[in-house]
Structure 1
């Protein structure tokens, strides 16, 4: 009887191994298909300012595991980070792109219950990131990539206890995160992964000691940490409408 049970267990193990191998082949096949689908849409990270040039070099530098970019809106912080993540994915340097962003509205705007799964609930906050993805992938491909886990939306609140391996993590609008959330995020990094933290300390819904991005930048002001780089942007780096710089200056205290 024991021999029969052992045979059954071995047979199940073999079936499981075959199934895993088949799933792995399908995952690789899907990844190749997605990369082939955008073959004509080359990912070119083209700097339009000196600070963007420094930022791009840090994004592409595999020895920099955490890159922090802070500065005004329209300076390319998120756009270039997403481009670099897509480039890494297409070059098989990572298996997935993880998108996260604090679920905080503008100022004290209250958000009611949002229906749907976690992707649907986070859609209002991740929309700017997906706008960039749509430059390289169509809606159907993005949907499939979400299903396959090649793109993952992970709210900060759900990251505790996880480790992200072989991943590019784009953490956008992190001026709205607390210092504790920033610390937790950075300690989620696993092997062959990169975290890019972006935000504008002047456009924060959290102020003073509660502003995680400002707290992090202050900690790194007089301290150099191997594998971490901070990139600062200014008004002259703005690449959107020229009037944005004037608007920001108008509201500057």
Structure 2
């Protein structure tokens, strides 16, 4: 390897408008090499369809620089990791890239919440009622106290990506966090990252999102996580 930069491999949903842009905004100007492949996504977003999608993880990972070492592979689907299970995703990635560390938004979110010592959580998701409940259940199983929950009830990933950022800010900035230590906004397709700073100022509490947690944990995994300004309190904790 003539280039000593650490390599990130990102698996993005075929229909995601947001994740690459978010990654690049955080890692630009840093000595990091970034490679992306996309995975076919089945709508509506249901557990069954998310598990079906995960069956292609090994081949999609293989196609990120075949036979070359990747330092960290990020699987960019929150509900998809919850549906299939982290161990299943990790196993499938390691078939293709045995040396890679593996991160996902849901596991990264747990790490991030622990890092910020957060116990009581308000959760916002864009998903259908059923998928929203599965996400809430996941955080409860991980011993977080979910103080409140709201959701958009959107069934298609492509529609989630089309949610207007100003509208999203309006909705999220009105969430009542009086009983919560923080707000977690689920889904890699939602354009949350660039409004996190503004939301934290308005809500006066930490705000975490799928992409923010995923990018933060990816950088932790490659030892490149020195403080980064502009993307919320999480990135200032190192």
Scaled by the length of structure 1, the TM-score of the pair is 0.34
**Greater Cα radius of gyration, structure 1 or 2:** 1
| Higher relative contact order, chain-length normalized (CA < 8 Å, sep 6+) | 1
Scaled by the length of structure 2, the TM-score of the pair is 0.36
| Structure whose residues are more often strand by fraction | 2
